[in-house]
Amino acid sequence: MLKNYTKEGQKLPLFGVGPYIIYGIAMLNAVGIVLFGYVLKIGILGDPWIMIFRIAGAVLIVFGIAVWFIGALRSDMDESITENRLQTKGIYAWVRNPMYSGWWIALSGITLMWHNAWMLILPVIDWAVMTIVLINTEEKWLTDLYGKEYEDYKKRVNRCIPWFPGKG
């Protein structure tokens, strides 16, 4: 299916379905912003909500970028994939999909910048799309590859929302 392998014997694609998920939810958000903010012009909030939404949006953007950065560039995830090793330490002890989660959080923050009540549904829809796609693709691949080790990991660590590791 996704043939972006870098090493012979590598069992998982390096990028997985990530680019498709991220581009998909980014496009969904862009359509929502244009539709609600510029075409229908509904749900636009005034003061003091403008500042509240923008501050919350900025915090989410920074947090999302940090989560993505740590997951993508400060972990040894690429090496784990090429070595067929399940990554469970560092940020992966807090969230199973930090790269997807980081983008989702940042896109949620960008959406808040438009201070529109109708757009509050977009992060929920994005989360649902991301969850459904991950359950039906990468989680199946990882269960097939790592079996009980991955099942135990799933019990301890949240799929999309960074949170304190469980005891599992």
Which pLDDT score, from 0 to 100, does residue 117 have?
A: 97
Q: Is the pLDDT of residue 147 over 60?
A: yes
pLDDT in the model for residue 109: 98
Q: Write out pLDDT tens, residues 77-131.
A: 878 888 889 999 999 999 999 999 999 999 999 999 999 999 999 999 999 999 9
Give the model's pLDDT for residue 2.
46
What token pair was written down for 18? Answer: 């990530």
